Structure 1
Amino acid sequence: MKAQRQHIPNRGIGYGILRYLSGNPEIVTALEALPSPEVSFNYLGQYDRLLPQSDTFRLAKESRGAERSLRGTRTQAIAIEAIVLDGQLHVRWTYSENLHRRSTIETLAENFIATLKELIAQCLAPGDSYTPADFPLASLTPQQLASLNQTFAPLADIYCLSPLQQGLLFHSRYAPESRLYCQQKVFTLQGTLDKTAFKQAWHAVVNRHHSLKAAFVWENLDEPLQVIRETVDIPFEEQDWQNLSLEEQELKLHDYLKADLERGFSLSEAPLMRMALLAIASDRYQFVWSHHHLLLDGWCNSPLLDEVFKLHQAYRRDRALSLPDPVPYRHYLAWLQQQDRTKAKAFWQQTLSGIDAPTRWGIEQDSFGEARNPVCQQLSLAPETATALRSLARTHGLTLNILIQGALALLLSRYSGREDILFGATVSGRPAELPGVESAIGVFINTLPVRVRIPGDISLLSWLKQLQQQQTQRWDYQYNSLSEIQGWSDIPRHLPLFEIFIAFENYPIETSLLSGNCGLKILNVRSFSRTNYPFSVTVELTPDLSIAITYEPQKYEAIAIERILEQFQALLEVFPASMKVLLSQIDLIERTEIQELVDSFNVDLE
């Protein structure tokens, strides 16, 4: 019954509006023709809570007399009214002696009270108080819920997966030995660190955010679900490396991370997270935080660390600290279920119409033999280049993300020989209309296909503005899963939607975490992760802008990746002086040719 009520839109107010206020004779006639219920039930609530405690006024216990004329005709044969007064439930039964005997109504009322007591006892019984209606974001039968409760009790919540979580779970299950999306972050910490307080702080922070306590289940279910436990214990390891040289510490850290990655995570056992505190000096530590991407995205790092550092300082000083209530991740999942899939389907069908295969570089090798671990090459732009790009973006109302994607699109177009290309990109996924979403913890980002056309007869600036406008249009449809989007495209299921992927990581760290205001400060951050894409570009918004390409070595040669990186860098260096240049005039160049190219364009820098 609770589940049925929850599925009635707006608590049923629409029925009365349609029947009595619509003014449409056909609707009124149709609703009047429906069978009329024989029994009405009206729960009036806890009235003693509505009035403040007062010696002057209080609810009268005397009968208030008949509310309707005894000559009137009631719609229902039996009317039941319930109200709570002074902590007691009062139930009144109204009936017609022309239709029912008093003894019949008394027996019915006694059975009602007996059944109500049974329900109360069942709800108070440990372990058996949940019904599927308690978890409206999960499609569960009573039997499925009982099984989950038996395995994961005590439960805090159960809900569906976000679009990206669905993809992450699929790839993690499809190739478990590859350790895809097992993320490792290494923070170099300096300051006064109380190990006991630090562990307590992490325990408190993890257990106050439901998304960090999730276990993922799929067997014997219609769809995968995440089950949230009431509390979890975080595996926390401590080692002392202070007697090792710097070189030995780095080698030991490399071996530790390798072994840690091999451990992976059992997706159905919470928490999908573990930590290690490695002392490398009297006031310096390497803190290794390993977790699965299913739990959170990069935007969550800074607010979580901010909470941990503040709690660590409070516990170290034996002080109480009250943090704001976290924004539940389930609010975002509920918002997702309210989105219009019909409009999204029309948008993506139009956007991807005519593309029947993923875009490739054209330098791929046939990958025979045993798969090898991904390899990463990276570079940082010169400080003056990063400054020029930021200035360029501000001047023309563009984002750095669009400049980077534009450079990638030009490179991919020239290599593939296509003027209509497709690659993947991450989006923040945090809807502005959801209150407090910027501080919520969970997986909000999503990966979407980006289709780019490269006409030769348009200037670089006009083209970049078009890319930004297209990006803005995608914002309204950034909540669909890649599997769903591919089903709306012309690309067959046996092919990937795209093979080339770019992530623009703009995850600022709180100033307090870098300055040591809480007694600890972060000196350095390194992160490691594997995706299912053979070629991925990661751009980090460091002061100098760093670009990393992670690739499958059996598919791409190292020298080819090195050349792409150099050309990527060269394009970005020439962008500020090339806004009026036609796309057809921009060629792939080496860095030594930049100045010569700029001079030949004779661009008016003003």
Structure 2
Amino acid sequence: MNWAAMTSCSPQTAPTRHCGVPGTDDVVRPTHERNTVRMVSQQREGALDEATRWNAMRDLMKRARRSDVEVRPDLTAPPFLSHGQEQMFGICQRFPGSSVAYNMSRVYRFKGVVHIEALASALHALVTRHESLRTGFLDTPEGARRMVTDDVPDLRVEDLTHLPAAERDDAARLAVEQDLQAEFDLGKPPLVRAKLLRLAADDYVFVLVIHHIVADGWSWGIIHRDISEAYAAFTEASDGPPPRQPVRPYSEFVALQRARLASSVGRESLDHWVRHLRDLPEPARVPIDKVASNEVDFSGDRHVFRLGEALSRQVREVSAGYRVTPAAVMLGSFARLLREEHGSRELVVAAPYANRLPHRMNDTVGYFVNSHVLRVPTPADATPADLIRQADSQLAQALLHQEVPFPLIEAELAGTGGDIHLPKAFRMMFFFHGQRKIDFSLPGVAVSRAPYFHNGTTKSDLTLIVHEDDEEIVCHFEYSTVLYTSDAMERAAQAYLRVLEDLPAIPGRKQ
């Protein structure tokens, strides 16, 4: 991977190949106690022990009160992009073909009679309600700017019932893959498209693709809820759902972000990251098994592996025994893998945080997420329990200072020597998704997630994605096919499973 090319951009455009993480629904930062307790309990990445949880809650409440007093956004400013959008837009402009890597998608199977007009109307209502989904992006002499339109996408319906029954699933899969791999023109909103594939009178595949620059993982819950509620209302009454409480526009977040980062609270968080990353060494990684290209290439694939019910149960028991969430156990074990298999003395990995600041933005579709660099020391004498605690601490500290976008950190470190290895910190990433529930429902229709799809891209060299399903934990290695083979990922997965099978003893439990 040509990291020099990636880092030759200005901090406001494209300092790294990575500029955000699809599929993240991370942390809330509310301004009152009840929501703060909920935020800490919902924190997917920030696997916090009990004392840290309460310290985090206290600090977040204190900082939120201060920011409410100090931050007064200028709502009359030009239609700037958020810092994360600026970075992503710069990458998509600078590297042709990279935009597809930021296509977010959900694919569902519908079993039952679908009212197509109601679904189309629900999609229309969703996009009308959320300005982000009607936003495009232009490069002007004054810089990149957002433009909000009144355009909404049509629900495209493709009937596959003319094909023999045995061929319809394959045809649907091909149609979905084509949709996932089609590039958006960021200057032509809406940056969302939906397709309904009809396989039978009571069997459909629904695919929804959204560009990451206008939405994040948290947004999916909002999108599913709004479509579900509107669909139910349209099937019951032709005039559709009653008006919902208006949501805060994403433009308010853009103004608030700039004001907040200019405040003393923002300065404190920026100072934290400067201290945290000033002496960053060259990050270790799983050794590549191909000759690296000098070209920036987003080609990728995923290797999926399961822990099984017994090992998944053990991970959860260890996390409970150490009073951390499974995220810390999985990250600490990954650090151990890098140490024992490849001699690493520090795991450097990036992880996403929701950055929903303040809590009134929780119902807004948009791109809020920030990704931050975690450093887990892995000295030779550190026990597996030590590594879990170190991972827990790193996740917690990032939670407290999540609001600072990466481009500002890089700009602050520029010229200090601390920026030399910073872009490489995004070569490896860590995502943790808590137990997934189907939050998309249509009356009279059985809704399920369709079989696994991937759009053939990646934004980092290697990403460990961990999902908690009902019975077991499922892991994905998303990897650059320019650097790694599928065999290398299979070996890495087996090595990771061996580490997990040797988890530390639970404190106080007799073996």
Both structures adopt the same fold (TM-score exceeding 0.5) = yes
Equivalents in 1 of 2:361, 2:510: separation in Å?
41
Q: In the alignment, is residue 349 of structure 1 matched against residue 274 of structure 2?
A: yes
Whether contact under 8 Å (2:123, 2:155) holds in the other structure is no
Alignment deviations for residues 31-89 of structure 1 (CA, whole Å, 9 cap, x no partner)? xxxxxxxxxxxxxxxxxxxxxxxxxxxxxxxxxxxxxxxxxxxxxxxxxxxxxxxxxxx
Equivalents in 1 of 2:454, 2:298: separation in Å?
16
Indicate the SS of the match to 2:425.
coil
Instruction: Give the corresponding residue for 1:321.
Output: 241
Whether contact under 8 Å (1:239, 1:279) holds in the other structure is yes
RMSD of the alignment, in Å? 2.8
Q: How does 1:71-86 map to 2 (within 5 A)?
A: none
Instruction: Give the corresponding residue for 1:226.
Output: 146
Letter in 2 for 1:249: R
Residue 336 of structure 1, CA deviation: 2.0
> Does the C-alpha gap of structure 1 residues 349 and 236 become closer, same or farther in structure 2, counting only changes over 3 Å?
same
Whether contact under 8 Å (1:182, 1:290) holds in the other structure is yes
Whether contact under 8 Å (2:299, 2:458) holds in the other structure is no
Residue 293 of structure 1, CA deviation: 0.8
Whether contact under 8 Å (1:185, 1:528) holds in the other structure is no
> Does the C-alpha gap of structure 1 residues 459 and 499 become closer, same or farther in structure 2, counting only changes over 3 Å?
same
Instruction: Give the corresponding residue for 1:205.
Output: 126
Find 1:216's aligned residue among 130, 137, 141: 137
Instruction: Give the corresponding residue for 2:408.
Output: 484
Instruction: Give the corresponding residue for 1:330.
Output: 251
Indicate the SS of the match to 2:408.
helix
Alignment deviations for residues 204-232 of structure 1 (CA, whole Å, 9 cap, x no partner)? 1111011211111222123x332222x22
Alignment deviations for residues 450-496 of structure 1 (CA, whole Å, 9 cap, x no partner)? 11101333433343223222322222321222232233442338953
Equivalents in 2 of 1:452, 1:498: separation in Å?
14
Instruction: Give the corresponding residue for 1:107.
Output: none
Alignment deviations for residues 365-392 of structure 1 (CA, whole Å, 9 cap, x no partner)? 3234995831211112201222222232
Letter in 1 for 2:406: L
Indicate the SS of the match to 1:267.
coil
Q: In the alignment, is residue 366 of structure 1 matched against residue 294 of structure 2?
A: no
Letter in 1 for 2:106: K
Equivalents in 2 of 1:430, 1:382: separation in Å?
34
Q: How does 1:84-163 map to 2 (within 5 A)?
A: 136=74, 139-140=77-78, 158-161=79-82, 163=83
Q: How does 1:193-342 map to 2 (within 5 A)?
A: 193-222=114-143, 224-229=144-149, 231-244=150-163, 248-318=167-237, 320-322=240-242, 323-337=244-258, 338-339=260-261, 340-342=265-267
> Does the C-alpha gap of structure 1 residues 536 and 455 become closer, same or farther in structure 2, counting only changes over 3 Å?
same
> Does the C-alpha gap of structure 1 residues 386 and 474 become closer, same or farther in structure 2, counting only changes over 3 Å?
same
Indicate the SS of the match to 1:398.
coil
Equivalents in 1 of 2:506, 2:435: separation in Å?
28
Residue 509 of structure 1, CA deviation: 3.6
Q: How does 1:367-516 map to 2 (within 5 A)?
A: 367-368=292-293, 373-431=299-357, 434-489=358-413, 490-492=418-420, 495-506=423-434, 508-509=436-437, 513=440
Instruction: Give the corresponding residue for 2:480.
Output: 552
Letter in 2 for 1:252: A
> Does the C-alpha gap of structure 1 residues 247 and 415 become closer, same or farther in structure 2, counting only changes over 3 Å?
farther
Unaligned runs of 5+ in 1: 1-134, 141-157, 581-602
Unaligned runs of 5+ in 2: 1-72
> Does the C-alpha gap of structure 1 residues 215 and 605 become closer, same or farther in structure 2, counting only changes over 3 Å?
farther
Deviates more, 1:386-395 or 1:200-209: 386-395
Equivalents in 1 of 2:113, 2:247: separation in Å?
28
> Does the C-alpha gap of structure 1 residues 443 and 272 become closer, same or farther in structure 2, counting only changes over 3 Å?
same
> Does the C-alpha gap of structure 1 residues 386 and 421 become closer, same or farther in structure 2, counting only changes over 3 Å?
closer
Find 1:174's aligned residue among 94, 100, 115: 94
Whether contact under 8 Å (1:424, 1:500) holds in the other structure is yes
Whether contact under 8 Å (1:413, 1:454) holds in the other structure is yes
Equivalents in 2 of 1:378, 1:510: separation in Å?
20
Alignment deviations for residues 561-591 of structure 1 (CA, whole Å, 9 cap, x no partner)? 111111222222332x5457xxxxxxxxxxx
Letter in 1 for 2:146: Q
Instruction: Give the corresponding residue for 2:467.
Output: 540
Indicate the SS of the match to 1:176.
coil
Indicate the SS of the match to 2:481.
coil
How many pairs are equivalent? Answer: 424
Indicate the SS of the match to 2:275.
helix
Equivalents in 2 of 1:302, 1:527: separation in Å?
19
Alignment deviations for residues 133-183 of structure 1 (CA, whole Å, 9 cap, x no partner)? xx945754xxxxxxxxxxxxxxxxx3431x433332222222232422122
Q: In the alignment, is residue 521 of structure 1 matched against residue 442 of structure 2?
A: no
> Does the C-alpha gap of structure 1 residues 494 and 404 become closer, same or farther in structure 2, counting only changes over 3 Å?
closer
Residue 356 of structure 1, CA deviation: 4.1
Whether contact under 8 Å (2:467, 2:475) holds in the other structure is yes
Residue 188 of structure 1, CA deviation: 0.8
Whether contact under 8 Å (2:438, 2:449) holds in the other structure is no
Indicate the SS of the match to 1:171.
helix
Residue 203 of structure 1, CA deviation: 0.2
Equivalents in 1 of 2:400, 2:132: separation in Å?
24
Whether contact under 8 Å (1:361, 1:416) holds in the other structure is yes
> Does the C-alpha gap of structure 1 residues 411 and 487 become closer, same or farther in structure 2, counting only changes over 3 Å?
farther
> Does the C-alpha gap of structure 1 residues 358 and 246 become closer, same or farther in structure 2, counting only changes over 3 Å?
farther
Instruction: Give the corresponding residue for 1:119.
Output: none
Indicate the SS of the match to 2:267.
helix
Equivalents in 1 of 2:501, 2:241: separation in Å?
48
Whether contact under 8 Å (1:138, 1:160) holds in the other structure is no
Indicate the SS of the match to 1:349.
helix
Alignment deviations for residues 311-365 of structure 1 (CA, whole Å, 9 cap, x no partner)? 1122122264223332433343343221344323321122123224333323343
Equivalents in 1 of 2:298, 2:359: separation in Å?
44
Equivalents in 2 of 1:353, 1:369: separation in Å?
27
Equivalents in 2 of 1:275, 1:559: separation in Å?
35
Whether contact under 8 Å (1:313, 1:519) holds in the other structure is no
> Does the C-alpha gap of structure 1 residues 605 and 284 become closer, same or farther in structure 2, counting only changes over 3 Å?
farther
Structure with larger RCO (C-alpha < 8 A, sep 6+): 2
Residue 443 of structure 1, CA deviation: 1.7
Indicate the SS of the match to 2:254.
helix
Instruction: Give the corresponding residue for 1:597.
Output: none
> Does the C-alpha gap of structure 1 residues 335 and 469 become closer, same or farther in structure 2, counting only changes over 3 Å?
farther
> Does the C-alpha gap of structure 1 residues 450 and 495 become closer, same or farther in structure 2, counting only changes over 3 Å?
closer
Equivalents in 2 of 1:193, 1:289: separation in Å?
16
Residue 548 of structure 1, CA deviation: 0.9
Whether contact under 8 Å (1:358, 1:495) holds in the other structure is no
Deviates more, 1:537-546 or 1:479-488: 479-488
Alignment deviations for residues 234-292 of structure 1 (CA, whole Å, 9 cap, x no partner)? 03211112344565233323332343345311101110111110011211210011111
